Amino acid sequence: MTISSAIKFAYWVPNVSGGLVVSNIEQRTDWSYDYNIRLAQTAEKNGFEYALTQIRFTAGYGAENQHESVSFSHALLAKTEKLKVIAAILPGPWKPALAAKQLATIDYLTQGRIAINVVSGWFRGEFDAIGEPWPEHDQRYVRSEEFIRTLKGIWTTDNYSFEGKYYQFHNYTLKPKPLQKPYIEVFQGGSSRAARDMAARVSDWYFTNGNSVAEIKKQIDDVRAKAKLENRQVKIGVNAFIIARDTEQEAHAVLNEIIAKANVEAVNAFGDATREAGAAAPEQEGNWAKSSFDDLVQYNDGFKTNLIGTPQQIAERIVALKQVGVDLILSGFLHFIEEVEYFGEKVLPLVRQLEQQQLSQVTAKSA
What pLDDT is stored for residue 280 in this prediction? 54
Give residue-wise pLDDT tens across range 63-117: 789 999 999 999 999 999 999 999 999 999 999 999 999 999 999 999 999 999 9
- Comparing CA positions, the residue from 206, 215, 346 lying closest to residue 291 is 215
What pLDDT is stored for residue 284 in this prediction?
54
Q: What integer pLDDT is reported at residue 249 of this predicted model?
A: 98
Question: Phi/psi zone of residue 7: left (φ > 0), alpha (ψ -120 to 50 degrees), beta?
Answer: beta
User: Does residue 192 or residue 233 have the better pLDDT?
Assistant: 233
The rounded percent of the chain whose pLDDT value lies above 90 is: 80
Q: What is the mean pLDDT of residues 214-228?
A: 96
- pLDDT value for 269: 82
Q: Is the pLDDT of residue 4 over 60?
A: no
- Residues 154 and 183: their CA atoms lie apart, in Å, by 9
What's the rounded mean pLDDT across residues 154-165? 98
Q: How confident is the model at residue 2 (pLDDT cuts 50, 70, 90)?
A: low
Q: 206: left (phi > 0), else alpha (psi -120 to 50), else beta?
A: beta
Confidence of residue 365 (pLDDT cuts 50, 70, 90): confident
Mean pLDDT along residues 22-36: 96
| Average pLDDT, integer, range 209-227 | 96
Point out the least confidently predicted range of 31-40, 109-118, 158-167, 294-303. Answer: 294-303
pLDDT at res. 11:
98
**Would you say residue 3 has pLDDT above 60?**
no
- The chain-wide mean pLDDT, for the chain, equals 93
Angle at 67 between CA 96 and CA 185, to 5 degrees: 40
**What would the mean pLDDT of 255-271 be, rounded to a whole number?**
91
Of the pLDDT bands very low, low, confident and very high (cuts 50, 70, 90), residue 291 is: confident
CA distance 229 to 179: 29
What is the pLDDT at residue 274?
A: 67
Question: Cβ(285)–Cβ(190) under 8 Å?
Answer: no
Is the pLDDT at 160 greater than 70? The verdict is yes
Please provide the size of the chain in residues: 367
**Predicted confidence (pLDDT) at residue 275 exceeds the cutoff of 90:** no
CATH class of segment(s) 8-261+297-366:
alpha beta
pLDDT tens by residue, 111-146: 999 999 999 987 888 889 989 889 999 999 999 999
DSSP-assigned states of every residue in 264-303: HHHHHHHHHHHHHHHHHSTTS-STTTT--HHHHTSTT-GG
* Average pLDDT for 174-188: 97
Q: Is the peptide bond before 182 cis (omega within 30 degrees of 0)?
A: yes
How many whole angstroms separate alpha carbon 168 and alpha carbon 166?
7
Phi, psi dihedrals of residue 115, rounded to the nearest 5°: -135, 175
- pLDDT band at residue 205 using 50, 70 and 90 as cut-offs: very high
Sign, CA torsion 269/144/190/334: negative
DSSP 201: H
- Whether the predicted pLDDT of 313 surpasses 80: yes
Confidence at residue 285, expressed as pLDDT on a 0 to 100 scale:
57
Q: Worst-scoring range by mean pLDDT, 24-28, 116-120, 269-273, 330-334?
A: 269-273
Single out the residue of 116, 304, 330, 317 nearest to residue 239, CA to CA: 330
The residue that leads in pLDDT, 188 or 58, is 188
Other C-beta atoms closer than 10 Å to the C-beta of 352 total 16
Least confident of 127-141, 165-179, 209-223: 127-141
Q: What is the model's pLDDT at position 56?
A: 84
